[in-house]
């Protein structure tokens, strides 16, 4: 819905001053600021000048357009000797938010948005119309004074804006200088920081190397202590069992006491070594231990929990059926496996370092060992060399134990 506020007719030059003043008054009445009031008045002045230049008359109406949300100025004019000039109309359109010129219907429409416009009710609309309809002095000189005041105000506003622009440019220049100084300083600080980081990494690498060396030295110490103590202790315990076993010579009571004292001392020392290994698991020795009675062929075997022993009887080799047994565990948790080696039978023990290969399945390598074990050489050292040479150089340590019962009184 449209609500017309006021209308005026332009017939002669002094009417242009009247419509200009009326345009400012309308703009003020609908809530536009001072600059927009000047824009509306100037736009009407330019359009009026172009219309009167062709000896025409025009009617100007001011309307509140609720659909467009602003002020609608509709200018209809009569025919003249020439077309209405486009320069003044184009300038008016730039001063307003929108402008249209229909030469065929002899009509010019100008629009100016009014922020937050709300169409007033009938009473207030009536008061606005009444105020706009009040007669105003129609003196060209007074209007020229008003234009001069507006021009002066515009110039003052322009000067103020220019001063603000100069001040902002100075602040921006100062900010840019600070930014450039910061950018020039950053590489130096980054370089210094990088040097500090490199030095820190170098120190960390040095400390890590020292820790690794200390850890390796500790492991070598534990391994050496464990090996140098455990091996003779196991030998002593094995000899004691042979002396105390049913197959040995009968000992006197004093000899029995002394041998048992040796056995108890060896067992105590072996328990201490086991505790040392428990305190340092990484240094625990990995060994194969075999105790055998050469007269009966009874054997007690403990390995590191990897490969079960291969028992060879009458040229047939089979892996002994047992679970993984682990040396280095607490004494109360691991067990000893017992088996019997018949006369002329053989036994082969080896660590998994012999057969581990990234490109060959473990089962395939185990089968190769079993097939090689079916033909034990008379010379056991030659057999071990042949077995090791078959697999070639290994990445891990390799331990091989091979024995055979001769069938008389030894193995």
pLDDT of res. 333: 47
Q: What percent of the chain has pLDDT over 90?
A: 4
Indicate the SS3 state at residue 338.
strand
CA dist list (Å): 396 to 140, 353, 355, 393: 113, 5, 10, 9
pLDDT of residue 61 exceeding 80: yes
pLDDT of residue 23: 85
Percent of the chain past pLDDT 70, that is, above it, reads 76
Tokens at residue 328, please?
């280095």
pLDDT mean over 2-23: 81
Give me the pLDDT at residue 137, please: 55
77: left (phi over 0), alpha (psi -120 to 50) or beta: beta
For residue 33, give both structure tokens.
């600021």
First vs last Cα of the chain: how many Å apart?
A: 122
CATH topology for 2-138? Heat Shock Protein 90 (3.30.565)
Structure tokens at 131: 């105020």
Mean pLDDT of the chain: 78
Q: What is the mean pLDDT of residues 268-297?
A: 68
SS (H, E, C) 35-46: HHHHHHHHHHHH
More confident residue, 296 or 270: 296
What pLDDT does residue 234 have? 72
Residue 16 is predicted with a pLDDT of 83
Q: Which strands make up the sheet holding 316-319, listed edge to edge?
A: 316-319, 310-313, 346-350, 400-404
- Tens of pLDDT, residues 129-177: 666 666 555 555 566 666 666 666 666 777 788 888 888 888 888 888 8
pLDDT higher than 70, residue 1: no
Residue 328: predicted pLDDT: 44
Of residues 233 and 71, more confidence is placed in 71
Cα 299 to chain center, whole Å?
60
So what's the pLDDT on residue 304?
53
Strand partners, 222: none
- Decide if pLDDT at 334 tops 70: no
Q: What is the mean predicted confidence (pLDDT) over 224-246?
A: 71
C-alpha angle 21/27/33, rounded to 5°?
Answer: 115
**What would the pLDDT profile of 342-361 be if each residue is shown by its tens digit?**
888 888 888 777 887 777 88
Domain range summary for the chain, segments of one domain joined by +: 2-138, 286-411
* Predicted local confidence at residue 327, as pLDDT: 45
What integer pLDDT is reported at residue 140 of this predicted model?
Answer: 56
Q: What pLDDT score was predicted for residue 110? A: 92
- Residue 284 in contact with residue 277, Cβ under 8 Å? yes
What average pLDDT does range 240-255 have in this prediction? 75
CB 389 within 8 A of CB 398: no
Tell me the three state secondary structure of residue 174.
helix
Query: HEC string of 212-277?
Result: HHHHHHHHHHHHHHHHHHHHHHHHHHHHHHHHHCCCCCCCCHHHHHHHHHHHHHHHHHHHHHHHHH
What confidence score (pLDDT) does residue 324 get? 45
Q: Which two tokens stand for residue 7?
A: 């209308």
Look at the block and give the residue holding tokens 């008054």: 25
Question: Lowest mean pLDDT: which of 83-92, 198-207, 221-230, 392-401?
Answer: 221-230
At residue 330, the pLDDT reads 45
Buried b (16+ CB within 10 A) or exposed e, 209-243: eeeeeeeeeeeeebbebbeebbeebbebbbbbeeb
**406 pLDDT above the threshold of 70:** yes
- For residues 106 and 181, the model is more confident at 106
**Interatomic CA distance for residues 325 and 305, integer angstroms:** 4
Whether the predicted pLDDT of 325 surpasses 70: no
Q: Select 286-411's CATH number: 3.30.70.3420, 3.60.40.10, 3.40.640.10, 3.40.50.2020.
A: 3.60.40.10
Distance CA 68, CA 117 (A): 10
Q: Given this model, what pLDDT does residue 146 score?
A: 64
What is the per-residue pLDDT across 181-201, written as a single tens digit (0 to 9) for each? Answer: 777 878 878 888 888 899 999
* Average pLDDT of span 289-314: 78
What's residue 142's pLDDT?
Answer: 60
Contact of 342 with 405, CB cutoff 8 Å = yes
pLDDT value of residue 108: 92
């Amino acid at each position: 819905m449209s609500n017309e506020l006021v209308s005026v007719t332009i017939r002669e030059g002094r009417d242009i001053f009247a419509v200009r003043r009326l345009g400012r008054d309308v703009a003020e009445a609908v809530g536009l600021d001072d600059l927009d009031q000047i824009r509306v008045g100037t736009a009407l002045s330019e359009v009026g000048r172009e219309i009167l230049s062709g000896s025409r008359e025009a009617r100007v109406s001011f309307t509140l357009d609720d659909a467009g949300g602003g002020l609608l100025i509709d200018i209809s004019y009569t025919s003249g000797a020439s077309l209405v000039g486009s320069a003044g109309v184009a300038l008016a359109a730039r001063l307003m938010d929108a402008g249209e010129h229909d030469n065929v219907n002899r009509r010019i429409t100008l629009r100016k948005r009014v922020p937050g416009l709300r169409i007033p009710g009938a009473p207030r609309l009536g008061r606005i119309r009444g105020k706009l309809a009040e007669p105003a002095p129609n003196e060209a000189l007074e209007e020229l004074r008003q234009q001069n005041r507006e021009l002066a105000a515009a110039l003052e506003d322009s000067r103020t804006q220019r001063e603000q622009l100069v001040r902002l440019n100075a602040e921006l220049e100062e900010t840019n200088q600070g930014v450039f100084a910061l950018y020039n300083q950053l590489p130096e600080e980054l370089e210094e920081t990088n040097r500090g980081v490199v030095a820190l990494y170098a120190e960390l690498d040095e400390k890590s190397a020292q820790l690794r060396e200390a850890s390796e030295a500790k492991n070598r110490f534990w391994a050496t202590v464990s090996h140098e103590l455990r091996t003779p202790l196991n030998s002593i315990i094995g000899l004691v069992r042979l002396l105390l076993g049913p197959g040995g010579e009968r000992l006197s009571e004093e000899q029995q006491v002394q041998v048992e004292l040796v056995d108890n001392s060896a067992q105590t020392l072996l328990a201490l070594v086991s505790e040392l290994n428990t305190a340092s698991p990484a240094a625990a020795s990995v060994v194969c231990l075999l105790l055998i009675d050469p007269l009966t062929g009874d054997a007690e075997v403990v390995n590191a929990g990897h490969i079960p022993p291969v028992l060879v009887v009458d040229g047939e080799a089979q892996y002994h059926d047992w679970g993984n047994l682990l040396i280095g565990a607490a004494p109360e948790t691991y067990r000893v496996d017992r088996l019997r080696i018949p006369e002329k039978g053989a036994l082969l023990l080896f660590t998994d370092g012999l057969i581990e290969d990234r490109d060959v399945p473990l089962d395939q390598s185990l089968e190769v060992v079993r097939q090689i074990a079916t033909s034990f050489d008379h010379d056991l050292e030659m057999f071990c060399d042949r077995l090791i040479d078959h697999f070639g150089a290994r990445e891990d340590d390799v331990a091989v134990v091979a024995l055979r019962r001769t069938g008389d009184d030894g193995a």
